[in-house]
Amino acid sequence: MTPAAPRDGEPLSIQPSAINRFAAGLRRLINLSVARVVDDAALTAAAVTLEEMGETLEQAAVPGRRPRGHPIAEGHPQDYFWTSPMAGHANALSVPARYWADVTDEGQPCIRGTVNVPLAYEGPPTCVHGGVISLLFDELLGNANIISGHAGMTGTLTVRYRKPTPLMMDLDLWATFVRQEGRKITTVATISVGGVVTAEAEGLFIEVPPQQMLGIVSANADRAGRAVLDDELSRFVDGTAANGLTTNDAEG
């Protein structure tokens, strides 16, 4: 399981750490390289330094993939995925967004959050790229499913872009589970700025039994090589996991 703070506590994943500091430094470089004009000589010098850093880190890296971890539904939503591409402070590609738990007027658990999207994610001039909005919605909806105890994989994501979503402004995020019928899970979400909804989404998610998930993992490992697996997933694929689930039990 991925470590998690209590649902109403301060998230662990945003605390000062070497990986978060490193990711923040890379994030700054990414935004500078996209949003600012930098002299070629300075860029070349920086590139040489980065190439040398890459070699140094490659030599220092522990063999195998970093453990991915699995979210604790009862924990803080910010801690569900420490390296997420939207909210992971340990991921230099993230924005990053901030999430927390709330409840709807009907008492249903929901996700709220905020994000300020930098120029590296620009689509139309001054606006957030539509694909980035879709990625943000996919993660928001998935987290809303986890917090409500109805986790699943995305089947269909429908996004309505009501207004251009502005860059470099505080955006309000909201998502909540609606219903589950059989294996089909329906969830909705919005992005707002200053109380005005700029985009809304509805996701249809599919509940995936453990045996079927194991089949997906095993097939991906065969196609892409075991580098996609961390130690925990490797034990499942090899049939050495503590619960005894093996690929012979897997559904396609």
pLDDT beneath 70: ranges in the chain: 241-252
Is 201 in the same domain as 222? no
Same-domain check for residues 120 and 200:
yes
Reported in sequence order, the residue ranges of the chain that DSSP labels E, i.e. its strands, are 98-103, 109-116, 153-161, 170-181, 184-193, 196-206
Q: What is the CATH number of the domain that holds 107?
A: 3.10.129.10
Domain range spanning residue 225? Answer: 210-249
Q: What is the pLDDT of residues 188-218, one digit of tens each?
A: 999 999 999 999 999 999 999 888 888 888 8
The verdict on 179 and 144 lying in the same domain is: yes
- The strand pairing partners of 159, in sequence order, are 201
155 with 240, same domain: the answer is no
* pLDDT score for 244: 56
Is the residue at 93 inside a domain? no
Q: Give the CA dihedral 67, 70, 74, 77, nearest 10 degrees.
A: 80
| Whole-number pLDDT of residue 243 | 60
Q: Do residues 170 and 241 both lie within one domain? A: no
Is cis: bond before 96, omega within 30 of 0?
Answer: yes
Q: Residue 247's pLDDT is what?
A: 46
Domain count, the chain: 2
Indicate if 112 and 185 belong to the same structural domain: yes
